[in-house]
Amino acid sequence: MQAAKDTFLKTLASRLAVVNPARTVTLDGVTRPAVLALENEIPMPPDTELETFLLNWQGAAKVVPGEPLMQLDCKLSYGTKGTDAMLRTDCGRILTAMDQELLRICEPHCAAQVDYSTTPVTALGNNIFWDAPVLGAVKSGNGVLKRTAEITLFYFPEAD
């Protein structure tokens, strides 16, 4: 399961680096594409979800009935305060741009599964795949617009 999670995270991050190289986050002095897994980054600085895609795995892995597959549900959250600290007139545009970035980095809906726990990394000879993101409603408060998107990841259990 960890290889599937890592592959998904690394795939989205590498695709974001192509789609929008300027969308980065700096944590512990390291700048990288702004796709983070909450389970890997705790504790997180305040407002990290702004301008960043935060991936949070929801519950335990489940067997897909009738298939030799497992599934993991995840929620990606993201938001923006906009670039104008006083007026916040571009929040909607920035959130829409992030929506489009998310849709683009999720295409195609598959990637070759890799074990990132080895050096060098090891290709596992199969793929992970996922469904299209389901965008949730926009929420606003304190001058911030936020959204969550749900994605289900599928992988073969023998790759664990």
> For 40-49, 75-84, 148-157, which range has the lowest pLDDT when averaged over its residues?
40-49
Q: Are 87 and 158 in contact (CB under 8 A)?
A: no
Residue 46 has pLDDT above 90, yes or no: no
User: Which structural domain, as residue segments, surrounds residue 19?
Assistant: 2-159
Phi, psi of 25 (to 5 degrees): -135, 145
State residue 87's pLDDT score: 62
CATH of the domain at 38: 3.30.2000.20
Residues 6+ apart with CB under 8 A from 80: 50, 51, 91, 94, 95, 98, 144, 145
Q: Are 151 and 77 in contact (CB under 8 A)?
A: no
Mean pLDDT computed over 126-151: 95
Given the structure tokens 């700048």, which residue do they identify? 31
Confidence of residue 45 (pLDDT cuts 50, 70, 90): low
Residues 6+ apart with CB under 8 A from 133: 76, 102, 103, 106, 149, 150, 151
Per the structure, how many domains does the chain have?
A: 1
Q: Are 53 and 128 in contact (CB under 8 A)?
A: no
Confidence of residue 99 (pLDDT cuts 50, 70, 90): very high
Residue 54 has pLDDT above 80, yes or no: yes
State residue 48's pLDDT score: 67
DSSP string, 3-34: HHHHHHHHHHHHHHHHH-TT-EEEETTEEEES
Mean pLDDT computed over 125-150: 95
Read off the pLDDT of residues 17-32 as tens digits, 9 standing for 90 and up: 999 999 999 888 899 9
State residue 160's pLDDT score: 45
Read off the pLDDT of residues 2-18 as tens digits, 9 standing for 90 and up: 999 999 999 999 999 99
State residue 159's pLDDT score: 44
Write the single-letter amino acid at 107: E
- Taking every pair of C-alpha atoms in the chain, what is the biggest distance, in angstroms? 55
Length of the chain: 160
